[in-house]
Amino acid sequence: MLDHLSLMALDALLIAVFFSFLWKRDRRERWRYFWKVFGLLLLGAVAFAWLIYPFPRA
């Protein structure tokens, strides 16, 4: 089975491609939008994970 990061990246990839084709018309716009959404989802999740890292579960 894929690890958590790979699965998150795959989900982010599907979502980024989906919205770039749903909302953008031109090829160039789609690429730009794709990298923006993909980067935000991936880096945002990693950043959020680091942010909550110091907080204990209980």
Partner 1 sequence: MPERQPASRLALGVLIALAWLVPGLGHALLRRRLRAAVFFVLVVTGFVVGLLLNGELFLPHPGDPLSYLATVASLGNGMLFLVARYLGLGQGVVTAAGYEFGNTFLLTAGMMNLLLMLDTYDIAVGKKDW
Binding site for partner 1 (CB under 8 A): 1, 4, 7, 10-11, 14-15, 17-18, 21-22, 25
Residue among 50, 51, 38 at smallest CA distance from 8 = 38
- Segment (H or E) for 52: helix 27-52
Give 25 or 53: the residue with its C-beta nearer to partner 1: 25
Contacts of 34 by beta carbon, 8 Å cutoff, 6+ apart? 16, 17, 20
Give 5 or 54: the residue with its C-beta nearer to partner 1: 5
Q: Residue 53 Cβ, how far from partner 1 at the closest point, in Å? A: 19
Give 27 or 54: the residue with its C-beta nearer to partner 1: 27
